[in-house]
């Protein structure tokens, strides 16, 4: 077994225009002061990184890594959540998701997709240049508008959708393979890869691609009423990343999973700061440790109630206290009597 690395923090929700959140060095110093040991970097935020430059220049990548390490931290992974979303967008969502893309490709679906695909390929090369072996993203969605099928889905629709999704991602996965980096999909409502069954359909379409891996985040499974512990049993061999994020689901006689179009505070299902929700993180860390997960435990802060800086300060301690330093010996070694084949046969009554 291996000890999980951490605590790490995903910087996306903390970046801002005011110090210390407005550049990579200052936010890293802030994170280190709270007790974090690693940072997950949003690749779309120019205050953190120039993704293309990191892909094309090992010197620049070394400078980025040096900035982080000079602050006493390590880069855990890069993220292309926003760019990955744009690899597959149903036209109904064009206007909403155009904001994730640069001005030059907005309003041009083909150009936007091509830009997103290139961003993912840059991310594979940048990850390699930074010495990373895993990367976070979203799958995008062509079928999400049919998730609750009324009217019923036409025969073959799901197969066609996943065939197209796989055709878009297979060349990207191959680039990640060439660069020795696992591409980890965050299984998430709003994405075509939103639970275990949809992930398996995608795996089938990409021929069980070895780089089509998983970012595990139990908060999204709380909101779907999915067994987030059993999920680890099913998919631990593919889990390469871990977002430590809490959530709660409190259905009423008026609303349930779908939330009744309410804001986050009023929804039956909502994300919470670590320790304030319903995820059994003791069991989660135990299962991941049991299955030899050796990646980072990275806090992703999303809470409708608590101030983010309080959530971060509490989160560093929370993750540190949940990481299990694995044992190097069995607890009952003291009672061992020694063994060899002759002795074992004697115990079994065979001699």
Q: For 130-148, how does the pLDDT look when each residue is reduced to its tens digit (9 = 90+)?
A: 999 999 999 999 999 999 9
Pick the CATH number of 5-347 from 3.30.499.10, 3.20.20.150, 3.30.70.1290, 3.40.190.10: 3.20.20.150
Distance of CA 41 to the CA centre of its chain: 12
- Residue 49, classified by CB atoms within 10 Å of its CB into exposed (0-12), middle (13-18) or buried (19+), is buried
**Could you tell me what percent of the chain has a pLDDT over 90?**
93
Angle at 209 between CA 170 and CA 238, to 5 degrees: 125
- In the chain, % helix, strand, coil (3-state, to 5) comes to 45, 15, 40
Global pTM value: 0.95
- Residue 130, classified by CB atoms within 10 Å of its CB into exposed (0-12), middle (13-18) or buried (19+), is buried
User: Does 337 score more than 90 pLDDT?
Assistant: no
Could you give the CA distance from residue 271 to residue 249 in angstroms, rounded to a whole number? Answer: 9
Mean pLDDT across 246-256:
98
pLDDT digits (tens, 9 = 90+) for 177-235: 999 999 999 999 999 999 999 999 999 999 999 999 999 999 999 999 999 999 999 99
pLDDT digits (tens, 9 = 90+) for 262-278: 999 999 999 999 999 99
Contact between 21 and 15 (Cβ < 8 Å): yes
pLDDT confidence of 236, banded at 50, 70, 90? Answer: very high
- Radius of gyration of the chain measured on its C-alpha atoms: 22
Look at residue 343 in the predicted model and tell me its pLDDT.
85
pLDDT digits (tens, 9 = 90+) for 89-111: 999 999 999 999 999 999 999 99
pLDDT digits (tens, 9 = 90+) for 144-189: 999 999 999 999 999 999 999 999 999 999 999 999 999 999 999 9
User: Does 350 score more than 70 pLDDT?
Assistant: yes
pLDDT confidence of 342, banded at 50, 70, 90? Answer: confident
Look at residue 334 in the predicted model and tell me its pLDDT.
64
Could you give the CA distance from residue 40 to residue 240 in angstroms, rounded to a whole number? Answer: 14
What residue segments make up the domains of the chain, in order of their start?
5-347
pLDDT digits (tens, 9 = 90+) for 17-58: 999 999 999 999 999 999 999 999 999 999 999 999 999 999
User: Does 332 score more than 80 pLDDT?
Assistant: no
Could you give the CA distance from residue 43 to residue 41 in angstroms, rounded to a whole number? Answer: 6
User: Does 335 score more than 80 pLDDT?
Assistant: no
Strand residue runs (E) in the chain: 5-10, 38-42, 74-80, 134-137, 182-186, 212-216, 239-244, 246-249, 269-272, 296-299
Contact between 215 and 241 (Cβ < 8 Å): yes
Instruction: Tell me what the pLDDT averaged over the chain comes to.
Output: 96
Contact between 130 and 144 (Cβ < 8 Å): no
Look at residue 295 in the predicted model and tell me its pLDDT.
98
């Amino acid at each position: 077994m291996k000890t999980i690395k951490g605590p790490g923090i995903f910087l996306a929700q903390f970046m801002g225009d005011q110090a210390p959140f407005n550049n990579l060095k200052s936010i890293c110093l802030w994170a280190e002061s709270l007790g974090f040991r690693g940072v997950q970097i949003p690749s779309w935020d120019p205050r953190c990184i120039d993704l293309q430059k990191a892909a094309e220049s090992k010197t620049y990548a070394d400078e980025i890594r040096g900035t982080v390490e000079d602050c006493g931290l390590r880069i855990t992974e890069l993220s292309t959540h926003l760019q990955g979303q744009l690899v597959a967008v149903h036209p109904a969502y064009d206007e909403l998701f155009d904001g994730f893309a640069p001005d030059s490709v907005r309003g041009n679906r083909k150009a936007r997709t091509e830009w997103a695909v290139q961003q993912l390929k840059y991310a594979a090369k940048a990850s390699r240049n930074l010495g990373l072996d895993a990367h976070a993203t979203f799958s995008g969605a062509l079928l999400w508008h049919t998730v609750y099928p009324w009217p019923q889905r036409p025969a073959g629709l799901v197969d066609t959708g996943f065939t197209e999704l796989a055709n878009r991602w297979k060349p990207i996965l191959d680039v990640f393979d060439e660069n020795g980096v696992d591409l980890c999909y965050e299984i998430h409502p709003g994405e075509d890869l939103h639970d275990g069954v949809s992930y398996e359909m995608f795996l089938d379409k990409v021929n069980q691609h070895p780089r089509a891996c998983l970012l595990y985040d139990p908060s999204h499974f709380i909101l779907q009423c999915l067994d987030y512990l059993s999920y680890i049993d099913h998919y631990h061999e593919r889990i390469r990343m871990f977002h430590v994020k809490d959530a709660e689901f409190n259905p009423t006689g008026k609303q349930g999973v779908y939330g009744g179009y309410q804001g986050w505070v009023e929804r039956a299902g909502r994300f919470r700061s670590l320790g304030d929700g319903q995820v059994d993180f003791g069991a989660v860390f135990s299962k991941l440790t049991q299955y030899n997960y050796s990646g980072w435990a990275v806090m992703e802060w999303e809470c409708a109630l608590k101030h983010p800086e309080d959530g971060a300060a509490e989160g560093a301690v929370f993750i540190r206290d949940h990481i299990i330093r694995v044992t190097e010996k069995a607890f009952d070694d003291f009672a061992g009597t020694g063994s060899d084949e002759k002795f074992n046969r004697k115990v079994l009554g065979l001699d």
